[in-house]
Chain A
């Protein structure tokens, strides 16, 4: 399937049930454009693309894109994604997850996938609110967020996933924004082509429960426009602290690639030339003799 494909080739018959105005539409569009371009440019074979999703509004993306997909469970995308890479290193693995999903329920898995440098991409639909469960605070909601479980305001402040991922050894750390579609598509493509663990924190408003469009529109800027050196971990770390996922009091929000580095991948080291898809078994006679 080296021939080019169009975005419509990736459509499915599933009815889209995201709310009108949802930031997920832009993420889906950017992902499809990225996939189409990578296939058409001959970088990836369509049959080798594998998407995963967790549970939440974002998870439906697995139904909406006609590619191999593993629609998994809440917080658990990195485990199956790692297993897929161990089994077959030809596969190009792109995990989609929500902020509650990846930064809350399954944070341990995300940290370990980054620490190991599994060659995979995690795209976090970070709307900073639980949408599908109708509006509770998440790990990236600002302190004081008034949600259904915290009507008097969230008592805890947000974590900064960019800073976290830098500190645990992710080799590609980026932020994108659903209001900047072309930029998002480019970041996705570079994340997918990165050889190693890539995290893209994709900011998206939740039109129904946390509408942040105007907030983001007035604050985002492209790191690459300001000559940020993404090979410099210290510069990346400093930039990661420019915005702390707070509320109105916060300053500018950098988007783009914070950091990119090369490091051997986990699965290359662990699999070490074995073919996990060939199930033919070895004989045991020599080993059994040693047990006598």
Chain B
């Protein structure tokens, strides 16, 4: 059994304005075990995952956020309900597969920005959040959409916790 030092479980209301408070909470949690850079990275990751869940999830259904470490690797997982008719799960799977095609997260990031640059309208969806998680957040992303009406996305940091508070 691997050792974990912390596990935070939150039920978050699907309200956009609450996301930033959770981002701050995740930053504070990680600050107990890591430096400023990793705190910001993982706080951003939690915010992007929650934003996607609020944007595409079922309204009025709370989101589950779990932040834990497993052998010094931090994992952030968001689970949300979603309409069975939603096209988001398919798009999410495709987006994650697209990111994985690149050798380096920076290449995916640049490519996503290039696509954004080519769009006529800034309002079009572009899936930059997942790419930010991989590049700016330094995480690998996976998802599970096998249960109808439920989406689970998790990000695992490629940077290990150093072991002691900074």
Check if A and B associate: no
Chain B interfacial positions (CB closer than 8 Å to A): none
